[in-house]
Amino acid sequence: MIKRTASARAASAVDRRDFIRLAGATAAAWLTLGATSDRVRIVASLTALPLDDELTRRSMTESATTRLGGLIAGLRQRGWVEGVNYHFEIRSSFGGPDKLKAAVQELIDLKPDVILTGSTGETAAVMAATKTIPIVFATSNDPVGNGFVESLAHPGGNVTGFTSSTAEMGGKWLQLIREAVPDIARVGVLFNPASTPRAGRFYLDSIEQEAAASGVTVVLAPVSTAADIDRAISRFSESPKAAMISLVDSFLVVNRQAIVATTAKYSVPMIYPFHYFMDAGGLMSYGPTLEVRSADYVDLILRGTKAGDLPVQSPRKYELLINRTVANALGLTIPFTLLARADEIRE
């Protein structure tokens, strides 16, 4: 178990221009590392977050500690130097369907060698726009069910990538929040049907199975706009006692600050699928450990490997994070047996 203070957790930020300048200083070595020199490649990325979101800014300034920063650092290790033998382009799909369509078209017009996507909705939109440009999804919870790939082992087509969780995670989240709040009679499930896998059903089956076995009532709390968040959470502050589960959902990640603030306002315990919510002051999260492995696939694709020949990879480790200060504020005493299993306890 690792205990970290806020100062210890804060990664040292590097200005992106300094980072690129540092990468350029290694340009003389890129031929030795085996990158081809015939032309400058284009690596494109589509994100559901606004470009001025804290997570986006952090991704572009911290090297190996974030997905995009780690990608750039990983490519440099493999001989690909930004501004020398490839260019990195990023666009945001935030702002609704029209913005998504425009962002995808902007990237397609660049004729990139590979496009990285960050959510299920983005992957579907890019796939609808091209059947030839290689696509690597950073997270997809049901790539076979969504029709992205033929199978995990043999994706086929022009798409591959990484999954972030399985359908059984729903039941695991319920087990964990019940350990933290053992006397709950209800569990609310927060999600946006438009942006979570199978409109929520991907996780709901296992949540409902676990709830039936433990005598807990499942109450759906769908939201479609930021204005819905307060109403969706506030009703779980009333009797009978309840806790909540946040599903894997790009809409919820974008609105994580408002969600966490609202749970504090109404004293509603909630478990989240990503550490991003913990950084915003959440109670607990259980999800995949961040592993920046996309550089491996992007490198292979830039060298000529077909995306459809690269198997979809699943997380190798999941981590449990608990914020004991938030628990105290909610009037919860987290059992020692649960604290002992935590990978990180925040104070």
Tell me: the pLDDT tens digits for 186-223? 999 999 998 888 899 999 999 999 999 999 999 999 99
What torsion do the CA atoms of 203, 116, 60, 323 make, to the nearest 10 degrees? 10
Report how far Cα 320 is from the mean position of its chain's Cα atoms: 15
Query: Helix or strand or coil: residue 322?
Result: strand
Whether 128 contacts 85, CB under 8 Å: no
Domain parsing of the chain, residue ranges: 10-27+39-162+293-316, 169-288+319-346
- Answer with the residue of higher pLDDT: 224 or 4: 224
Query: Helix or strand or coil: residue 67?
Result: helix
Tell me: the pLDDT tens digits for 126-150? 999 999 999 999 888 889 988 999 9
Whether 224 contacts 194, CB under 8 Å: yes
CATH topology of domain 169-288+319-346: Rossmann fold (3.40.50)
pLDDT at 68: 80
Fold identical between 10-27+39-162+293-316 and 169-288+319-346? yes
- Of 113, 106, 75, 101, nearest to 91 (Cα)? 106
Tell me: the pLDDT tens digits for 67-117? 788 888 899 999 999 999 999 999 998 888 899 999 999 999 999 999 999
Report CA Rg, the chain.
21
CATH number corresponding to 10-27+39-162+293-316: 3.40.50.2300
pLDDT at 188: 98
Tell me: the pLDDT tens digits for 235-291? 999 999 999 999 999 899 999 999 999 999 999 999 999 988 999 999 999 998 866
Task: Answer positive or negative: Cα dihedral of 188, 191, 196, 201.
Answer: positive
Whose tokens are 């609105």? That residue is 255
Tell me: the pLDDT tens digits for 292-337? 688 999 999 999 999 999 999 988 889 999 999 999 999 999 999 9
User: Which residues are registered as beta bridge partners of 114?
Assistant: 43
Whether 245 contacts 222, CB under 8 Å: no
DSSP code per residue over 142-204: -TTTTTS-S-SS---TTEEEB----TTHHHHHHHHHHHHSTT-SEEEEEE-TTTSGGGGHHHH
Spatial separation of the C-alpha atoms in residues 134 and 156, rounded to whole Å: 11
pLDDT beyond 60 at 32 = no
